Amino acid sequence: MKIAIGADQAGYKYKEIIKKFLVEKGHTVDDFGTDSEKPCDYPDIMRPVAKAVAAGKYDRGIILGGSGNGEAMVANRVKGVRCALCWDLRSARLSRAHNDANILSMGERMIAIEEALEIVELWLNTPFDGGRHLTRIQKIDAE
């Protein structure tokens, strides 16, 4: 799978660990930044990730911050993006199965790295269940 990944300074450490994890699993990963724990403006990173996923350049995207909330809000402003803020395995599974989420947002301050890696793996491997839950979202995306 081709994956775009990005984080602000508060998600930088997890981004680096998740990026390595994804490459070890055989995925192609492009890093949109940031490259340190130096403060940055998260929309400058999240918006390009979201635009690239929406344009079909990537199969999925993963974005990280302190809580993941602001990052998800920025991503969801891009037409064609369905970004899910996930904090456990259940929310990750449902975001894919029922909502066909194409970007995963997580908060480094909210969950342990071991749980974050489990969420990433489950989220990437959960298929969309077929559409009965997404009909309205697809109509909104088409507008």
Q: What are the residue numbers of the active site?
A: 71, 98
Measured CA angle at 137 (ends 135, 142), to 5 deg: 95
Residue 141 near residue 80 (C-beta atoms within 8 A): yes
Measured CA to CA, the distance from residue 2 to residue 4 in angstroms comes to: 7
Alpha carbon of residue 50 to chain centroid: 9
Measured CA to CA, the distance from residue 31 to residue 23 in angstroms comes to: 12
